[in-house]
Amino acid sequence: MNKRYIATPSRTKEILQKYRFTFKKSLGQNFLIDVNILKNIINHAGIDESSGTIEIGPGIGALTEQLAIHSEKVVAFEIDGRLLPILQDTLSDYENIRIIHEDILKADVHSVIDENFKERQSVHIVANLPYYITTPILMKLLRERLPVDSITVMIQKEVADRMAAEPNSKSYGSLTIAIQYYTEAKVVMTVPKTVFMPQPNVESGILNLVIRKEPPVHVEDEEYFFNLVQGCFAQRRKTLRNNLSSYFKGVLDKEVINEVLESIEIDGTRRGESLNMQEFSILANAFYRIQNNKERMS
């Protein structure tokens, strides 16, 4: 192994000591110290020498370095200003990296892609994401419908399992539906705590999201669909009928809810976790039409 790689325990310690860097818990900073894990992430992401890559939270540059070696160009978003001089130093050998000092949640990623990558270039997002902000970041990237091929992230294993879950499992929920509406999701690897500095309290997983060209189901209104799905999982142990009654309280009475369920042949005694995405889309579209008609008539 090349000892100069950033992702080794000795090199990471050396960099941290040189810059007297202290980890900020509020930013969920856990740096990777295993080159093989990083190469696995890149392999699973489907990156090659002609790819453009976007990284979120490069830290001291461990993954950034490997992305620079294996892809044509890397653009990395770093929110922590203290890391900018460190990255300038650790990544000085690579000319195909651009670091942007910005919060990914506020960034105009469409413009960044236009400015930095060629037209029709294969672009992949890769990141070791802070656990506390995984879902907001992924949902922002997906809802903006960026021209990217895939998103591959190292996240908390439990959350990765929820995003890639199948119906009728404990992990399956509204987050599963939201992620799988936009992507084909797969947990490709489990990562032990020992490959991080400092070690996190939980196990990590590598989640690969291949962006769908079209959603797998037709919905009348996306916002309405996602909100209704959340309502169906509000209390997991309750039946679909009971959760819908709570969700539509003061808007639709129980009789109407029962009529809708009957008309689309979905059993109200089922639980949310037993419905697949197709069934949720039928459910949401039926209620959307009922509410729209009601609003037009009132």
Annotated binding site for S-adenosyl-L-methionine: 30, 32, 57, 78, 103, 128
Please give the Cα distance from 275 to 255 (Å, whole number): 21
Cα distance from N-terminal residue to C-terminal residue, the chain: 71
Please give the Cα distance from 129 to 132 (Å, whole number): 9
Contact criterion met (CB below 8 Å) for 204 and 156: yes
Please give the Cα distance from 39 to 34 (Å, whole number): 9
Q: How many CA atoms lie within 13 A of 50 on its CB side?
A: 5
Sign of CA dihedral 170, 235, 273, 191: negative
Please give the Cα distance from 18 to 21 (Å, whole number): 8
Neighbours of 192 (CB within 10 A): 11
Q: CB under 8 Å, gap of 24 or more: what pairs does 90-98 form?
A: 90/6, 90/15, 90/60, 90/61, 90/65, 91/61, 91/64, 91/65, 94/65, 94/68, 94/69, 96/68, 96/71, 96/72, 97/64, 97/68, 97/73, 98/73, 98/74
- Residue ranges for the known binding site are 30, 32, 57, 78, 103, 128
